[in-house]
Amino acid sequence: MAQESLNPFITPDQNGNLGKHGGKIQHPALVTALAEIEEGFRKIIHDEEFIAEMKRLQATFVGRPSPIYHARTLSQSGAQIFLKREDLNHTGAHKINHCIGEVLLAKKLGKKKVIAETGAGQHGVALATAAALLGLACEIHMGVVDIAKEHPNVSRMKILGAKLVPVSEGAGTLKEAVDSAFASYMEQLDESMFAIGSVVGPAPYPEMVAYFQSIVGHEAKAQFESQYGGLPDEVIACVGGGSNAIGLFNAFIDEPSVDLVGVEPAGEGLDKAGRHAATLSLGKFGNIQGFNCYYLQEEDGTPAEVHSIASGLDYPGVGPQHCYLKDTGRGRYEIATDKECLDAFLRLSREEGIIPALESSHAVAYALRRAKELGPEKRLLVNLSGRGDKDIDFVLTKITL
Ligand SMILES: *Cc1c(COP(=O)(O)O)cnc(C)c1O
Do residues 276 and 305 touch, judged by C-beta distance below 8 A?
no
Q: Provide the β-strand partners of residue 166.
A: 142
Peptide bond into 204 cis (omega under 30): yes
Please indicate whether residue 358, judged by its CB atom, sits closer than 6 Å to ligand 1.
Answer: no
For the chain, percent helix, then strand, then coil, each to nearest 5?
45, 20, 35
Of ligand 1's listed atoms, the one at least distance from the Cα of 200 is 7
Identify which of 66, 244, 246, 383 to mutate to test ligand 1's pocket (most ligand atoms within 8 A of the CB): 244
Give the percent of the chain with pLDDT over 70: 98
Helix (H, G, I), strand (E, B) or coil at 230: coil
- In tens, the pLDDT along 163-213 reads 999 999 988 888 889 999 999 999 999 999 999 999 999 999 999 999 999
d(CA 168, CA 145): 8
Is 117 in the active site?
yes
pLDDT in tens, 295-351: 999 999 999 999 999 989 988 999 999 999 999 999 999 999 999 999 999 999 999
Sheet (strand 80-85) strand order: 68-70, 80-85, 379-384, 234-238, 259-267, 331-337
15-60+94-205 topology per CATH: Rossmann fold (3.40.50)
* C-alpha distance from residue 57 to each of 2, 202, 331, 401 (Å): 17, 27, 31, 40
Are 15-60+94-205 and 63-92+214-397 the same fold in CATH?
A: yes
Number of alpha carbons in the 13 Å side-chain half-sphere of residue 367: 34
What pTM does this model have?
A: 0.96
Distance 401 CA to ligand 1 centre (A): 27
Q: How far is Cα 204 from Cα 319, in angstroms, rounded to an integer?
A: 12
pLDDT at position 5: 42
63-92+214-397 is a CATH 3.40.50.2300 domain? no
Under the banding of pLDDT at 50, 70 and 90, the label for residue 9 is: low
Q: Alpha helix locations (H) across 135-275?
A: 144-149, 151-159, 174-186, 205-213, 215-227, 243-249
Question: Quick check: helix, strand or coil at residue 154?
Answer: helix
Positive or negative, the CA dihedral 139, 145, 150, 151 is positive
Domain locations in the chain as residue ranges: 15-60+94-205, 63-92+214-397
